């Protein structure tokens, strides 16, 4: 994946769909952010506004 890409693993709590995801954490590997929150909606709403603004336009329609 390209540098700056983001993977959201919504199954991180059950072991995940991405080999590198870690439950409850954001992991960055080779420039790719892997989000493994266990309660994604709550975590998403409490992230700093600048991070939400960066991903919100394309992501909010899926949450």
Q: pLDDT by residue (tens digit) across 32-60?
A: 999 898 877 666 666 655 555 666 555 55
Any domain includes 1: no
pLDDT of residue 38: 84
**Residue 63: inside a domain:** no
With contact defined as beta carbons under 8 Å apart, do 35 and 9 qualify?
yes
Instruction: State the pLDDT confidence band at 10, using cuts at 50, 70 and 90.
Output: confident
- Which residue range forms the structural domain that includes residue 26? 6-55
3-class DSSP state for residue 32? strand
Give the DSSP H or E segment for 6: strand 6-8
pLDDT at 2 over 80: yes
> How many folded domains does the chain comprise?
1
Whether 10 is covered by a domain: the verdict is: yes
33 assigned to some structural domain: yes
Q: Is the pTM of this model over 0.75?
A: no
């Amino acid at each position: 994946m390209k540098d700056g890409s983001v993977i959201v693993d919504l199954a991180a709590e059950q072991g995940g769909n991405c080999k590198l995801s870690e439950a409850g954490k954001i992991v960055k590997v080779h420039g790719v952010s892997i989000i493994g929150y266990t309660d994604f909606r709550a975590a998403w709403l409490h992230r700093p506004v600048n991070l939400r603004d960066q991903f919100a336009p394309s992501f909010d329609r899926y949450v």
